Amino acid sequence: MGDLAVGARSGQDGPEEQRPAEPVSPAAEDAGPTESDSGAPGLSGSGSGSSGTGDETSEDDEPGHKPRKQRSFWKELPLLIGIALVLALLIKTFLVQAFSIPSDSMQHTLEQGDRVLVDKLTPWFGSEPERGEVVVFHDPADWLAGEPTIEPNPVQRVLGWIGLMPSANEKDLIKRVIGVGGDTIECNGTGPLKVNGQPLNEPYVYAGNTPCSVDDQGGQFKVTVPTGKIWVMGDHRQNSLDSRYHQEDKNQGFVPVDNVVGRAIVVAWPPTRWDTLPVPDTFDQNLSAAAPGALGLVGAVPLVLWRRRRTVGRTTPPITVGNSGVPGSGTAG
């Protein structure tokens, strides 16, 4: 019976010859499950052999799957350039812009050919120019009429448009703010220049120049700055066509605050002239236009009280319309 069962399983007609079992060595018994038992060669007892295959393949190892290729640098370069141009344009529009110094009117603070960086951010938050700042502003009333202009090449036009080079098409000037709305500024003789009656110590004025220019074209003046305007002058006083010499224009030489592009904060080029452009110490003194009036009011109070005490109990003639009230009229004590 046993031989017939074996033959039935094997699919043969006759009885199958039985072979003696091969002896198993002790080392083989101790080695644990083989590849066919565990499904993972060399990993005994891993518990992963129940799947029957034992090989885990990734998507990259599957037949017909192509591994991802890294994009070449040259294909990514146009995208990088585009992002850089957009950032440069945003920076120029809202943050900082470079300007070139075309003349000697600001020597020695700024030399011809210097490149300055101008802060354009703070005006967006309502900041207005202050005394002593060096500012760039749009031409308010054809101050640059007749001045030669350089025709830029296409590359310079593009770089100027995005702010990597100064724009040759913009009619801008750079000067120092001397007075703001409400200030009274005056020059008599060679100086000193006065703001609200206070003389300025101006070490930034070009060596050999006087703070005020003695001429009949505008160098001698006394003006009061309207609200919303500024009065500007160059540091090279005898070589600067600034507010003094445009008092006949529609703005009377004043520059509208809305024309101010921003404050020049640093000399960026050439490297040998790297420097900041701080407000000089002379503008730290109290130059407020309200200061003289306030001091006069404080000084007048004791005088008025003293006069009132003297006139108590005295009979004085009434002051008529024709009485000027000047000393000697009997009303000044």
**Distance from chain centroid for Cα 34:** 73
Cα torsion angle, 222, 223, 224, 230, sign: negative
In the annotation, is 69 catalytic?
no
Annotated catalytic residue within 105, 167, 240, 243: 105
In sequence order, the 6+-apart residues with CB closer than 8 A to the CB of 196 are 183, 184, 287, 288, 289, 291, 292
With tokens 């160098």, the residue in question is 219
Strands (E) in 171-296, as ranges, are: 172-179, 184-187, 194-195, 198-199, 221-224, 229-233, 255-256, 260-269, 275-276
Residue 59 half-sphere exposure toward CB, CA atoms < 13 A: 3
Q: Distance of alpha carbon 57 from its chain centroid, rounded? A: 55
Nearest Cα to Cα of residue 175 among 63, 264, 83, 296: 264
With beta carbons less than 8 A apart as the criterion, state whether 307 and 325 touch. no
Hey, which residues does 223 pair with through a beta bridge?
185
Q: Considering the candidates 92, 175, 194, 229, report the single residue annotated as catalytic.
A: 175
Six-digit token string for 119: 């802060």
Contact 231, 243 (CB under 8 A): yes
- The tokens describing 285, both together, are 């003194």
3-class DSSP string for 121-170: CHHHHCCCCCCCCEEEEECCCCCCCCCCCCCCCHHHHHHHHHCCCCCCCC
User: Helix, strand or coil for residue 267?
Assistant: strand
Task: Say whether 51 is catalytic.
Answer: no
Alpha-carbon gap, residue 70 to 68, rounded angstroms: 7
Residue 218: partners with Cβ closer than 8 Å, 6 or more residues away: 244, 245, 246, 247, 253
Name the DSSP letter for residue 261. E
Active site residues: 105, 175
